[in-house]
Amino acid sequence: MVSRILRHRLLLASIFIGWICVSITPVFDSVRVTAEYALTKHRIGFPLPIIEQHTSLTPMDDAYPFHLGLLSPQETPTTLLLGNYVLQFVIAVLGVYVILIAIKYLLKELR
Stated as kind and residue range, the H or E segment containing 27 is helix 9-28
Domain boundaries, the chain: 2-110
Q: What would you report as the CA-atom Rg of the chain, rounded to the nearest whole angstrom?
A: 19
pTM, entire model: 0.81
pLDDT tens over the chain, length 111 residues:
556 665 688 899 999 999 999 999 999 988 888 777 777 788 888 888 999 888 877 777 777 787 888 888 888 888 899 999 999 999 999 999 999 989 888 988 888
Residues 6+ apart with CB under 8 A from 26: 44, 45, 46, 50, 51, 70
